[in-house]
Amino acid sequence: MTITRINIGPVHPSTHGVIRLVVDLDGDTIVKVEPHVGFLHRGVEKLAETRMYMQIPPYTEKLDYVAPLAYDEAYVATVEAALGIEVKERAQYLRVIELELQRIASHLLGIGTLCNDIGQMFTTFMWAFKDRDMVLDLLQEATGSRMFHVNMRLGGLHSDVPPDFVDHTISLMDYMEKRIVHYEKYIEKNTTFKERMVGVGVLTKEKAIELGVAGPVLRASGINYDVRKNRPYYVYDKFHFNTKTLYDGDNFSRYKVRMLELKESVRIIKAVARAMPDGDALGMPIKLRSPNPVNRIAVVSRELPRGECLLYMVADPQKPYRLSIRSPNMINLAAISHMAKGARFADLFAILGSLDIVMGCIDR
């Protein structure tokens, strides 16, 4: 066996950020893949030790710049747990809607870029961006910003939604319901797409547990686990939805789980919007000084679009003493060497695309 080593990156058009992959090949067959990360490192966890509590969300939002609102909520929820602050009822409903809208926007981009990564269906990529743009319009209506929202406040939100927001939300979800069916039919009838995806990059159930992967990558390998369902927060336990689980553990399963989750997010949003209570949703104004923590140590788990994120905070009266983040992207990327072993070199980019990683979350 003759091993050829190929260096991919650190800048490459087929990757989801600045990453370097060192690939060992036997002919055209992958023997080993070694990811090299750190090119975007900004030291957010260390910076948190030097900022007041509510000065930090603009930093955490940049960790996952495809789903910034999800990290915004996860961090603020950790502060609320440390300070013993309850979230207002209406704000809980609105947070769920905004988080699921963010999940839809993230999955649309993930599916669109996956189709683009494997050189198929650029049309899908453009459709996904168009529909994602409509979701961002709705998030802008709710938060005042299209990308970095910084909308979470202790106990609630920065601002309540406009009076016609619920009607606009249900209308968009009716549209998205039809579009998702259209995406499925268009993508899955493409034989080249299926050849590049089915049976490629297999991650078995046992290996998924051993490696600790998260989110759609975990559920595509047959593990029925979703934080929203297994350890519900806010009002997730008041509404019925299914954890989408497949069992083949290949590229196609990881794509399909995200497609199925789009449908579930639409159902969740419509149900929550129709049940929205009246009342006050505003949180505490931003203050440089915060009350003394009720809990010295706070641990919060959230189901981000890319998987379970754990935040561990040691709290001081004015700012975090320590902040540590378990990134779902980091864990999922670490599995690529196992998933790619034995695959063809050309399949590497399909495998990487099926993970839907965001390097800002890894290089935190």
Nearest-CA neighbor of 299 among 287, 312, 317, 280?
A: 312
**Which value, to the nearest 10 degrees, does the dihedral of the CA atoms of residues 231, 235, 236, 241 take?**
150
Query: Which amino acid is located at 293 in the chain?
Result: P
**Crossing angle, helix 165-188 and helix 251-274, to 10 degrees?**
160
The residue type found at 133 is: D
Taking only the tens of pLDDT, the chain with its 364 residues reads: 789 999 988 866 556 678 899 999 999 999 999 999 888 888 899 999 999 998 999 999 999 989 999 999 999 999 999 999 999 999 999 999 999 999 999 999 999 999 988 877 788 999 999 999 999 999 999 999 988 999 999 999 999 999 999 999 999 999 999 999 999 999 999 998 999 999 999 999 999 999 999 999 999 999 999 999 999 999 999 999 999 999 999 999 999 999 999 999 999 999 999 999 999 999 988 765 566 788 899 999 999 999 999 999 999 988 899 999 999 999 999 999 999 999 999 999 999 999 999 988 888 8
Residue 124 and residue 55 in contact, taking contact as beta carbons nearer than 8 Å: no
In the prediction, which pLDDT does 285 show?
83
Read off the amino acid at residue 334. Answer: A
Q: State the CB neighbour count (10 A cutoff) for residue 281.
A: 24
Which pTM value belongs to this model? 0.95
**Alpha-carbon torsion, ordered 147, 151, 152, 153, to 10 deg:** 150
Instruction: Tell me the backbone φ, ψ of residue 50, rounded to 5 degrees.
Output: -110, 5
262/275 Cα distance (integer angstroms) = 20
Tell me what pLDDT residue 290 has: 62
pLDDT of residue 289: 55
Going along the chain from its start, the domains and CATH numbers come out as 43-332 (1.10.645.10)
How confident is the model at residue 172, as a pLDDT? 97
Per-residue pLDDT at 117: 82
Q: 173-182: string of b/e by CB count within 10 Å (b at 16+)?
A: beebeebbee
Structure tokens given for 330: 């980091």
Q: 344-347: long-range contacts at Cβ-Cβ below 8 A with a sequence spacing of 24 or more?
A: 344/28, 344/29, 344/30, 345/6, 345/23, 345/25, 345/28, 345/29, 345/30, 346/28, 347/30, 347/196, 347/200, 347/201
**Helix, strand, coil tally for the chain in percent (to 5):** 50, 15, 35
Measured CA distances, 210 to 185, 207, 218, 257, 336 (Å)? 34, 5, 11, 20, 14
Measured CA to CA, the distance from residue 290 to residue 227 in angstroms comes to 29
